A = this chain, B = another copy of it.
């Protein structure tokens, strides 16, 4: 920068101003400075700027345990992608703070915040609370937004899908087709999505005047399970039943896909013997046999919305963002659902 100043025949502070506040400097000198900077291939030192300003232009994405890739689900990567793109368009960079294997390096997540490296954080579908040791992310004093998981109760603005309502409506659709008995394939116990989606199923049963016993719940252990594996195990349990429900509802597409594949391999027809409903809307569902009926999460919108909210927070917008923003999931009716065979009886 000193070199640029020298070449342009001005002081370094003028260079700084010319680059940052185009308005506060004479147009001709500004041109001269820009030319000099161009000629010298000058690139501002971000570290120095961060130190001086006391803030960086990096935002941290805190991912959930199963992390970036998991089963068939591309939900997290899809959200991540829009978040990155949205931030990037505003000149922010995205730092991935996956939970590491060693607990020792875990601490560094909140440290990044108080250490001045990151300016804000976006929690993506993490099941764990955003606090580590005695230090909490929230306590670091940086803006935080959550997406895919509702943390509004903790005071964190959250952007989520209407999982509960969407699931309720989808199950009501199945009930409308004539189904009266359900097999539910649970996600990880205690997870937000699991609670919401099973809740939606329960809501639908209640709304239709069915007993809670109309649903058999399978899985939902505390240990994390790959989506496909849980689908396979669920299929085995389903096939072993004396009386098989006519519809299976999965918490994830991955489980639904593996369930479908497994029961068909054992001779059960889908949707003839059992209708299957997934959740997430992964693209590959359209190419399953039969194509999977599912609820598509608006991943791009979720990511964009969350990023925008964080950007607003970073801009110090006066208006506090709503604590909970809900975007609709969309029901994609495909071949894996139909009326039960004996519905016509």
Could you tell me which A residues sit within 8 Å of B by CB distance? 41, 43-48, 50-51, 54, 56, 58, 61, 67-69, 71-72, 74, 76-78, 80-81, 84-85, 88-89, 91, 93-98, 100-102, 105, 108, 111-112, 114-117, 134-135, 228, 231, 254, 257-258, 260-261, 264, 283-284, 286-289, 291
CA gap between A75 and B67 in the complex, in Å: 14
Show 10 residue pairs from A and B whose CB-CB distance is below 8 angstroms, ordered by the A residue. Answer: A46-B112, A61-B96, A68-B77, A80-B96, A89-B100, A228-B283, A257-B287, A260-B287, A261-B287, A289-B289
Q: Considering the complex, give the chain B residue whose CB is closest to the CB of A116.
A: B47
Residues of B with C-beta under 8 A to A84: 67-68, 96, 98
Number of copies: 2
Are A95 and B98 in touch, CB under 8 angstroms? Answer: no
Residue among A69, A76, A93, A264 with max Cβ neighbours from chain B (10 Å): A69
Are A289 and B288 in touch, CB under 8 angstroms? Answer: yes
CA gap between A139 and B91 in the complex, in Å: 22
Residues of B with C-beta under 8 A to A111: 43
Are B95 and A96 in touch, CB under 8 angstroms? Answer: yes
Are B105 and A98 in touch, CB under 8 angstroms? Answer: no
Are B88 and A105 in touch, CB under 8 angstroms? Answer: yes
CA gap between A76 and B74 in the complex, in Å: 11
Q: Considering the complex, give the chain B residue whose CB is closest to the CB of A113.
A: B43
CA gap between A89 and B51 in the complex, in Å: 26
Are A116 and B288 in touch, CB under 8 angstroms? Answer: no
Residues of B with C-beta under 8 A to A115: 43-47
Given contacts A71-B284, A88-B105, A264-B289, 7 further A-B contacts (CB under 8 A): A46-B115, A46-B116, A67-B81, A69-B80, A72-B283, A88-B101, A94-B95
